[in-house]
Amino acid sequence: MKSSTTNILPEHFEIDRQSITDRVYEHIKKLILAGYFKGGEKIPEERVAQQLKVSRTPIREALRRLEKYGLIYIKPRSYAVVVELKDEEIKQIGIVRLVLEKLAFQLLCDVISEEDIVFLEEIVDKCSELHYKGCQAESFEMDSFFHLEIARRSGNKHLYEILERLDAKVQLLRLRHNFPLQKFSQYIDQHKKFILLLKEKKMDEIIPILENHIMHD
């Protein structure tokens, strides 16, 4: 994996100058999730601004959004640093995520529609496509999108907001453990199983798969 100390950012990370703050936000987020900026490492604002040919203002606005998302923290009157998870946090995150996602699946199981099924299937197909193309950061994001959609479609917006905030920590955990791509294929298959069981409203069969899916993530 390339170090973030290189002078040139990866060429395949392109930026559209429209909606510049949004694009800068997505750009830096992808660099973090792809491992170019690692936990505990300073975000080089000036270098990013120069390479993207933007002012420091959209960079700082994007960094504030990334702090709210939970990927970085900004030191007062100083600079931004990628969040670095401690060992004791790992199991804690898994436990909290499991409880919340069980609730999300249970709520959706009661109200799921054919439209929900079709949309979730489209997410899984896209996730699989990105994975086999070798687009690691994008496939991880699509995986997170699948889980967040379970919560969103459950109808409980507060549950969705909590899981959305927790998602950044899940992404960082994968990077910290250098998540194996072969194992990710198994998770995509589990997503397909989740959809089938949701359609059949078999929550009792979802729970053990979900426990394995999350606690071994």
HSE at residue 103, side-chain half, CA atoms within 13 A, is 15
Q: What is the pLDDT along the chain (217 residues), one digit of tens a residue?
A: 444 444 445 554 444 445 888 889 988 988 887 778 888 899 999 999 988 999 989 999 999 999 988 889 998 888 999 988 888 888 899 999 999 999 999 999 999 999 999 999 999 999 999 988 888 778 888 999 999 999 999 999 999 999 988 988 887 877 766 565 667 788 888 999 999 999 999 999 999 999 998 887 5
Model confidence, pTM:
0.74
pLDDT tens string 158-195? 999 999 889 888 878 777 665 656 677 888 889 999 99
Question: Mind listing the pLDDT tens digit for each residue in 116-132?
Answer: 999 999 999 999 999 88
CATH class of 87-215: mainly alpha
Domain extent listing, the chain: 20-82, 87-215
Say which residues have a Cβ less than 8 Å from residue 97's Cβ, sequence separation at least 6: 163, 166, 170, 214
| Contact of 170 with 97, CB cutoff 8 Å | yes
CA 76 to the chain's CA centroid: 26
Count how many residues are written for the chain.
217
Q: Which CATH class is domain 20-82?
A: mainly alpha
Q: Which residue has the tokens 């609730």?
A: 103
Show the CA angle centred on residue 10, arms to residues 143 and 122, nearest 5°: 25
Q: How far apart are CA 203 and CA 197, in angstroms?
A: 7
**DSSP three-state, residue 80:** strand
